[in-house]
Structure 1
Amino acid sequence: MTRFPEGFLWGAATAAHQVEGGNVGNHYWEWEHDPHGPFAEPSGDTCDHYHRWAEDLDLLAAAGLTAYRFSLEWSRIEPEEGEISRAALDHYRRMVAGCRDRGLAPVVTLAHFTMPRWMARDGGWTGPKAGDRFARFTETVLPVVADAGYVCTVNEPNLMACMPVLAATAARGERVGGLPRPDQETAEALLELHRRARTVLRDGGAPPSGLTLVGQEFLAEDGAVEEMAAHRAAMEDQFLAAAADDDFVGLQVYSCARIGPDGPVAPPDDLRTLADMEYRPGALGAAVRRAAEVLPGTPLLITENGIATADDAQRVAYTEGALRSLHAAMADGADVRGYLHWSLLDNFEWFAGYRPTFGLVAVDRSTFRRTPKPSLAWLGRVARANALGAEA
C-alpha cells in the first residue's frame, strides 16, 4: 500500500456561488444575466447548499472523509457597504461548528471569485478602496473562522487576473486553448488584498492562513522553453513569491499548461475533458514538486483537484493517478498536509454552466436530491486507510 502521513487530511471542496443558490447580491449574478455575457446559463438555485449543507456534510463524513472546504459569500454578509447581516454570520458559524461536530476540519475561503455588487460598481478588486474593504470584511468574519482548520484568503488570484481575456474568449464562443498570462495590475491588486487579509487574520489570532493558486504542470512545446518559462513566471512564480510568508499555500491542480512559441496550446481532442482541460493526472505531482522547490519551507495543501467527466470510473482512475503522483512528490520531500477533491457536488461551473460535472455527488436540480457516486465511497476508503491500495 501507498501510505500517507499520520494526520493527513482527506476531504472535498465547494465554493459559495457554485453551490448555495440565490446569491443575487454579488457581481457574478448580475454578469451571468447579461444577455451578451459569456455564461452558458445562470446559476439560479444551483444545489441549494445554503439550506442543505447539513445533509451534504453528513454524506462527506459518512464516507470517511475528514475535511471540508467552503467559502463565505461576502454579499450575504455585507449586502450593502457597512450593513452587516448577523443572520449570515450565524449561518457560516453554524457551518464551521457543523464540520467540527462531524469530525471534519473546516477549510474556509474568504473570497472565491465573487464580490458584492456595491463593490463591483465602485472599482471592484482593483479599486482604490478595495484593500480597506477586504481588510474590514476579514475583521468582520474573524469570529466565523476562529475554529477553522485553515483559512484561505483569496482564491486563485492568478486565474482571477486572467478573467478579462477568458471572458472575451467565452463570449465569442471560442474553445479555450489554455490560460493566458494574467493582467499585471489585477494580479498586484489581488495580492495586496491577500496581504491585508493575512495581517488581519494574524493580528486576530486566526488559524493558519494562505492564498490558493492554480497549479499546473508547465510543458514546452516545439522547443519553446523560454516562452514557457516566461509564462510560468507570470502565471505562477510571482504568486508563489508573494506567498512565501504564508502559513501554507493551497494548490488547485487539474491539468498541464502546454506553451508553444505563440503561447498556450490547446489540449488534444482525445484528451479533452468536459471542462476543456487535458486529461493528465500526473500534473498534480508535477505542480507540487515545482511549488515545493520554489517555497521549500512552506507547507502545501491540495485545496482542489479533480476532473470534469460524466464517467465516474474515469473520475476514480484520474484521482488514483493524481494521488500516486502526489505521494511520489511527498516521498521526495514535498510537505503536503492534505488533499481536498473538487468537488463534493456537481455544481455551477461559471462560464460553462452545469455541463462539466466534477462532483463526488450528483444533484438533481429539480428536486435537489443527492445521489452519491461510487467515487465518493472510493475516496472515503482511501481516507479511512490513509493509503492507496487497500480501497478496492
Structure 2
Amino acid sequence: MRRPGRTLMTALFGGLALGVVMALLPAGAHAAATVPAVPDDFRWGVATSGYQSEGSAPASNWSRYDDGMEPYLNSVDFLNRYREDIANAASLGVDTFRFGVEWARVEPEPGVIDPAALAFYDDVVAEIRSHGMTPMITLSHWVHPAWFADQGAWANPGAVDRFLAYAELIVPRYAGDGTTWITFNEPVIYLQHELLDSDNPLPALALAPQVINAHNRTYDLIHRTDPDALVSSNAAYIPGVQPALDVLFLHQMKLDFIGLDYYYGVALDNYTASAALTGKFWEVKPAPEGFYNALKSYHARFPGKPIWIIENGMATDNGKPRADGYTRSQHLQDHLYWMQRAMAEGVPVIGYNYWSITDNYEWGSYRPRFGLWTVDVVTDPTLTRRPTDGVATYTDVIARGGVPADYVPVAPPGLCNIDNLLGSCAQPLLSGLLGGGTASTDVLGLQTLAGGASGGGLLGGLFKKSR
C-alpha cells in the first residue's frame, strides 16, 4: 500500500500538470462530451419581476432604497405593455412565464386591497394562459410595502401573519391549472439587502427564521389549495459558500424542487465575480462550467429533489457588445450545454428560465442589460423592445430540445473551479482526451480526492473549512 502522503503529492502534482496542459489546449478539447436532448416534458421559460419591470411603482422598501440611485423612471412599463412581452415570450416557444405579484401594489395600506391591482394581475395570468403558457408566480421578489417596512418588516413578530394574509388573497385566486409558485426570491440576498439598505439593526441571520416560517406556512397554504402545485424558493448560487448557506435556508424549507439561480463562478483564473459587488455585472467573466458544478453539487446534497433553473442570464453594458466578445447567444448555448451534460449524468433538471424577457431596473441602475429584448429606458421614450441575438438562439434550442449533441462550448472551462477544485482541474481535460463523456477512470485519485462535483472529498472539505 502506498503511503497517503505520497498519494496526495502525486495527485497534487498530477493535477497541476493537467491544469497547465488544459490551459494550453484549444477550446474544443476542453469539453468533447456529447450531450443528449432534454426530455419532451422539459419546461422552458422566461422570467421577470414586478418592481424591476412594471413601472408606476407604489411605495415600498425599494422605492425608498433607490433614492440616490439612478432614477427609477417608469422602468420598461410592463404594467401597460405586458401583452407585448407575453406575446414575445410565446414566440420563443416557452411554456412557462415567471412574473411577480407586487404585495405593495395589491395592499398599498394595511388591510386595504387595490381592486385595480388585482384586475391587472388577473389580466396578466389570463394573457399568459391565452398564449398556451402557464404562470410561475413569485410572491416576494425582494420588495414589500412601505407600511410593512415601517412596522419593522421581518423584525416584527407579526410579520409572518401579515405576509400570510397577503398570500391567502393571492394563492386561491391563481392556483391550479399548473401554476408554479416561488414564495421568496433569493432569500439570502433579500435579507442581505434588508440589513445593508434599511435601518433595521438586526443581522440578516436573525431575520431568517421569520422568512423561513413564512415560506413554510405559504407552502402549506398552496398545497391545501392545489395539492398538485410545485412550490419552491430559489437560491442565488454564491460560489464557495453555497452549501453553508443552504444549511441555514433551503434545508429548513419545505420544497418540491430546488430552484437555482446561476450567474457566476470562481476559478483560479477567474476572480471577476467580484465585479458584481459594485454593480458592474458586465465585467464578470462568465463561467458556464460552474453551472455544471452547481447542478452536480445540488444533486449530491439534495438527492431525490428535481432542479429547476429559475434564473440564468448575462449582463451587457447598456446593450453594447461585451469587451470579451462573448455574445448572449454564446452564453445561452454554453450554459445549456453544461446543463444537458449534467442531466446526462443523472442530475434531474426539469426546467430552465432565462433571465430576463426584457431589460429592467437592475436594483439601482439601467446600465446592466440582461434582457432577451433590450429596452433603452433612459434614452428611448417609446420603450421599444429590440431583440438581441439571444432571441433567435433561444427559439432554436427550444425547438431542438437543447443544444446539438456535438455542440462545443465557446468558453473553455476555468482553471480549477472553486466548487470542485481538483475534479474540475482534471475532468474537462480527461473528457477531451478520452473522446467524449465524463472521465470514468479516477486518474491519479483526483476525483476521489476532490470529492466529485459536490466538493465533499478530502481537499474539498479542507478548502471549505479553511475559508
**TM-score, scaled relative to structure 2:** 0.71
Letter in 1 for 2:301: V
| Equivalent position to 1:359, from 364, 371, 375 | 371
Residues 25, 292 of structure 1: alpha-carbon distance in 2 compared, 3 angstrom cutoff: same
- In the alignment, is the contact (CA less than 8 A) between 1:253 and 1:304 conserved in 2? yes
Runs of 4+ residues over 6 Å off in structure 1: none
- Equivalent position of 1:300 in the other structure: 307
Letter in 1 for 2:236: V
CA-CA distance at 1:18 after TM superposition: 0.5
- In the alignment, is the contact (CA less than 8 A) between 2:47 and 2:98 conserved in 1? yes
Comparing 158-167 and 378-387, the one that deviates more: 158-167
CA-CA distance at 1:233 after TM superposition: 4.2
| Equivalent position to 2:211, from 156, 178, 190 | 190
- In the alignment, is the contact (CA less than 8 A) between 2:108 and 2:114 conserved in 1? yes
- Equivalent position of 1:251 in the other structure: 260
1:4 alignment partner, SS class:
coil
- Equivalent position of 1:319 in the other structure: 332
CA-CA distance at 1:232 after TM superposition: 3.4
Aligned 1:1-392 pairs, distance under 5 A? 2-33=36-67, 35=68, 39=69, 41-147=70-176, 148-163=178-193, 167=197, 183-205=204-226, 207-218=229-240, 231-243=241-253, 245-256=254-265, 267=273, 274-275=281-282, 277-309=284-316, 310-311=320-321, 314-351=327-364, 353-365=365-377, 366-389=381-404
Give the aligned length: 354
Give me the whole-angstrom Cα distance separating, in 1, the residues matched to 2:72 and 2:179: 29
- In the alignment, is the contact (CA less than 8 A) between 1:216 and 1:287 conserved in 2? no
Give me the whole-angstrom Cα distance separating, in 1, the residues matched to 2:194 and 2:165: 27
Residues 165, 141 of structure 1: alpha-carbon distance in 2 compared, 3 angstrom cutoff: closer
2:148 alignment partner, SS class:
helix
Letter in 2 for 1:212: N
CA-CA distance at 1:298 after TM superposition: 1.6
- In the alignment, is the contact (CA less than 8 A) between 2:59 and 2:108 conserved in 1? yes
- In the alignment, is the contact (CA less than 8 A) between 1:72 and 1:92 conserved in 2? yes
1:296 alignment partner, SS class:
coil
Give me the whole-angstrom Cα distance separating, in 2, the residues matched to 1:286 and 1:105: 29
Letter in 2 for 1:282: E
Which of the pair has the greater relative contact order for Cα pairs under 8 Å at 6+ separation? 2
CA-CA distance at 1:273 after TM superposition: 6.2
Comparing 1-10 and 77-86, the one that deviates more: 1-10
Letter in 2 for 1:324: Y
Give me the whole-angstrom Cα distance separating, in 2, the residues matched to 1:311 and 1:64: 26
Comparing 297-306 and 83-92, the one that deviates more: 83-92
Letter in 2 for 1:72: V
Give me the whole-angstrom Cα distance separating, in 2, the residues matched to 1:105 and 1:336: 18
Letter in 2 for 1:286: N
- Equivalent position of 1:174 in the other structure: none
Structure 1 unmatched ranges of 5 or more:
169-181, 219-230, 260-264
2:390 alignment partner, SS class:
helix
CA-CA distance at 1:137 after TM superposition: 0.8
Give me the whole-angstrom Cα distance separating, in 2, the residues matched to 1:362 and 1:28: 23
1:161 alignment partner, SS class:
helix
- In the alignment, is the contact (CA less than 8 A) between 1:65 and 1:104 conserved in 2? yes
Give me the whole-angstrom Cα distance separating, in 2, the residues matched to 1:333 and 1:391: 19
Give me the whole-angstrom Cα distance separating, in 1, the residues matched to 2:280 and 2:222: 38
Residues 27, 216 of structure 1: alpha-carbon distance in 2 compared, 3 angstrom cutoff: closer
- Equivalent position of 1:227 in the other structure: none
Q: Identity of aligned pairs, percent?
A: 31
- Equivalent position of 1:177 in the other structure: none
Give me the whole-angstrom Cα distance separating, in 2, the residues matched to 1:130 and 1:268: 33
CA-CA distance at 1:42 after TM superposition: 2.6
**Cα RMSD for the two superposed structures:** 2.6
Residues 199, 205 of structure 1: alpha-carbon distance in 2 compared, 3 angstrom cutoff: same
Give me the whole-angstrom Cα distance separating, in 2, the residues matched to 1:160 and 1:277: 21
1:107 alignment partner, SS class:
strand
**TM-score, scaled relative to structure 1:** 0.84
Give me the whole-angstrom Cα distance separating, in 1, the residues matched to 2:368 and 2:181: 27
CA-CA distance at 1:278 after TM superposition: 4.0
- Equivalent position of 1:172 in the other structure: none
Comparing 354-363 and 209-218, the one that deviates more: 209-218
1:79 alignment partner, SS class:
coil
